[in-house]
């Protein structure tokens, strides 16, 4: 339980940092910001209940983590995914969209929360890949 508290506080810290950075760009650097009303790549523009889908997915992920010993062994990618999802969900509920401030011109604009989610999923993928490689050696 003490270990779980460490990860919860780390996740809340990441959410806090992401929210501070978004607020800075939203209020101080407004010309660099876009408010994304849809989901990833604005795919949810057609779907007005996107935030409910995110909440349901977080609940499902929570159940999977609770039941999976393997996922419990790798908490940091889960912390990143949760922190990114919660931070974007805060924006969506508070503002009706997500503050995106990173624009590479060759990719749709995004934010730190999106980076956390992607890095978390890539990390989980490699953990699963390494595990499957180890089981093939046996």
Catalytic residues: 100, 114
Q: What is the 3 state secondary structure string of the chain?
A: CHHHHHHHHHHHHHHHHHHHHHHHHHHCCHHHCEEECCCHHHHHHHCCCHHHHHHHHHHHHHHHHHHCHHHHCCHHHHHHHHHHHHHHHHHHHHHCCEEECECCCCCCCECHHHHHHHHHHHHHHHHHHHHHHHHHHC
CA 69/CA 90 separation, integer angstroms: 29
């Amino acid at each position: 339980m003490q270990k779980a508290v460490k990860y919860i506080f780390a996740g809340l810290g990441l959410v806090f940092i992401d929210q501070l950075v978004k607020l800075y760009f939203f209020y101080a650097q407004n010309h660099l910001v876009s408010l994304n009303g849809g989901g990833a790549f604005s795919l949810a523009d057609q779907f007005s209940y996107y935030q409910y889908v995110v909440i349901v997915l977080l609940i499902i992920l929570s159940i999977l983590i609770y039941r999976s010993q393997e996922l419990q062994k790798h908490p940091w990618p889960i912390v990143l995914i949760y922190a990114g999802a919660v931070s974007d969900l805060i924006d969506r509920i508070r503002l009706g969209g997500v503050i995106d401030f990173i624009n590479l011109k060759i990719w749709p604009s995004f934010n730190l929360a999106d980076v956390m989610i992607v890095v978390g999923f890539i990390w989980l993928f490699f953990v699963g890949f390494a595990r499957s490689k180890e089981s093939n050696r046996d």
